[in-house]
A and B are shown apart, each in its own frame.
Chain A
Amino acid sequence: MITNRPEDGRAGPGRDGRVVPVIEIENLTKRYGTQTAVADVSFRCETGTVTGFLGPNGAGKSTTMRILCGLTPATGGRALIDGTPYRNLPNPGRAVGVLLDASAQHAGRTGREVLTLGTMVLGLPRERVTQVLDLVGLDKKAADKRVGNYSLGMRQRLGLAHALLGNPSTLVLDEPANGLDPEGIFWMRGLLREFADRGGTVLLSSHLLHEIEAVADHLVMIGNGRIAADGSKQELLAGAGTLVRALEPEPLADALRRAGVTITPTADGAFLADAEALVIGRAAAAIGAVLTELRAADGAGLEALFLQLTATASTSAPAGAINPSMEVAR
């Protein structure tokens, strides 16, 4: 799973000869009183990849990202960037571009001023402000408006500008597509993809599967504070069984269950069966069920897992929804 990239000079071998991942989350746990927000979360982000950090609202994504950036102390475990804790980076904004909440800006400050303050901390020339405004598509008029008058989409662009300001090689973005129009989302995808293709590393969270699927090459799914799936996109999208749609799905599902096939319902009335199409076709023929769709499930399993994560309120990680090999992937 972990692809060492010897051709990339940045993530060189560590002391023990192992390649140091750009972002390494290790057994991270965060408890608030009796509530566990993040439970034993581990994953890595490698150079040149976009990692999609997926999970329903309240799954622990933001908490994990805040711990990674030294804003929230962890109860246990650790989070490292380029092999060191965030707090130990000499000038973190030069190494990691962070956007955790685009709305967290002073309403009375102009966008240009927010970025100017940024260049001061980062020790960069003021010209960078104009350059970065240009890059994210905020024109002069928008830049001189107070952030209080910005739409959410404009705030996201400003937030991304702020993250890119220090010319980091790593980006940590929490729900950056929120509030962007479709054109803006398309643009951001292109930008992040190019950033990774040119040797950068992106950790990007979202509660929308499709938004992430389009740009990420590595997916980490979290639910109720636990990792539910972790692997490359190809790996997670493949081998998720067979998608079955029938006129009357229940009798067929029952028949398959009796035959020992694992059934996972999807959102739109179909279900995923952990068996080959042939087996399902035979079972359908045996009970006279009318099939309307029968195909390899590419990605539907991921979707089913994601829906299950969203639906379950229990504290345990959902099991059985996904091929065990995916769990092994990490």
Chain B
Amino acid sequence: MSAQTALPAWAAPGATQSTKISTPGMLTLTRIELRKMSDTRAGRWLLIITAGLVVLVVGATAIWGSDEGSWANYTSLATIPITILGPVVGIMTVTSEWSQRTALTTFTLVPQRGRVIVAKFLAAVVLAVVTVVITLVVAAVATAISSGDDPWDQTATSVATLLLYVAIYFAIGVGFGLLLSSTPVAIVSFFALPIAFSLLSLFSALETPIEWLNPNTTLEVLNSTDAISGEDWAKVLVSSLIWMVVPLVVGGVLTSRREVK
């Protein structure tokens, strides 16, 4: 491993300082965060496994499932693995900065941490959109292969709510990551808390509040072709406020203030 000592012209102190120096834009930061989700072994495999599960679930249902093989049904099924693993991607985009200590580099290059946090949120939303598109394609292929009575039942509205559904899950992941900043703690909390809520709803006194707060039940309406009532929307709003908005805001503030070591 030998290296020349002489600094080449480009590396002379401040040689390109005359060229434009500007704060990296939101688009650039989002592209970087998207790239960081898939340029590590862990991140890449998480995405591959998620995609694999989507194909597996849809494929298995198309081959061995019942006769109700419509596009919406397949999409809805394919979304299940995504809402399980997608949030983990969201969590890890934040927590890996701390566990791998890359926060040191990230926040040294972009000291306005709020911008990095927003970029991570936007990257998660972009990934959610991409995921939904892939899901729709995989489901469409399955629909074309299998034979249902009314196979092409996907509407613009149901696609829109599906987008919202997946995006909320990804964003909840980012929020949990920001709030808890440790990969295992965030992942366990993300899975255990809704289960705990379900168990609490066994007590009749808690049944109504839990009905409004458990995202596993409130958000389900978004992943179906059924009409969504006003009360359903209110529940979606309340539960996303608590599970998504609060962790994002509180976690964002905590992350901005946290000392990077």
Contacts and interface: CB of A to CB of B under 8 A. Distances in A.
Contacts of A169: 13-14, 17
B261 A106 contact: no
Contact of A105 (B15, B17, B20, B105): B105
Interface string B82-98: 00000000000000100
A194 B7 contact: yes
B231 interface: no
A167 B199 CA distance: 58
Contact of B40 (A94, A109, A122, A183): A109
Nearest to A137: B3
B107 to A, nearest CB: 6
Contacts of B32: 117, 120-121
Contacts of B15: 167
Contacts of A89: 111
A14 interface: no
B193 interface: no
Interface string A125-163: 000100110111111001000100000000001000010
A263 B108 CA distance: 45
A117 B102 CA distance: 12
Nearest to B36: A117
Contacts of A267: none
A164 B29 CA distance: 21
Given A117-B35, A167-B14, A92 B111 contact: yes
A89 B111 CA distance: 9
Main secondary structure of the interface of B (DSSP, over half): loop
B153 interface: no
A313 interface: no
B28 interface: yes
Given A73-B259, A92-B111, A120-B32, A109 B11 contact: no
A109 B103 CA distance: 14
Contacts of B28: 120-121, 123
B103 to A, nearest CB: 8
A73 B261 CA distance: 12
B110 interface: yes
Contacts of B108: 69-71, 92-93, 98, 100
A120 B31 contact: yes
A86 B23 contact: no
Given A71-B104, A90-B22, A128-B10, A108 B41 contact: yes
Given A10-B14, A100-B108, A113-B39, A91 B21 contact: yes
B112 interface: yes
B39 A94 contact: no
Contacts of B104: 71, 100-101, 104
Contacts of B7: 135, 191, 194-195, 198
Interface string A187-201: 100110011001111
B13 A199 contact: yes
A219 B3 CA distance: 27
A265 interface: no
B109 A164 contact: no
B5 A191 contact: yes
> 10 smallest A-B Cβ distances: which pairs?
A137-B3, A200-B13, A169-B14, A108-B40, A104-B101, A190-B5, A108-B41, A71-B260, A106-B100, A104-B104
12 contacts: A71-B107, A73-B257, A87-B111, A89-B111, A91-B22, A94-B21, A100-B108, A103-B101, A108-B41, A135-B8, A135-B11, A194-B5
Given A89-B111, A108-B41, A187-B3, 18 more contacts: A66-B260, A69-B111, A70-B108, A71-B260, A71-B261, A87-B112, A90-B21, A91-B22, A100-B108, A104-B103, A107-B100, A108-B43, A118-B105, A120-B35, A121-B24, A135-B7, A138-B1, A142-B1
Interface of B: 1-8, 10-17, 20-24, 28-29, 31-32, 35-36, 39-43, 96, 100-105, 107-112, 257, 259-261
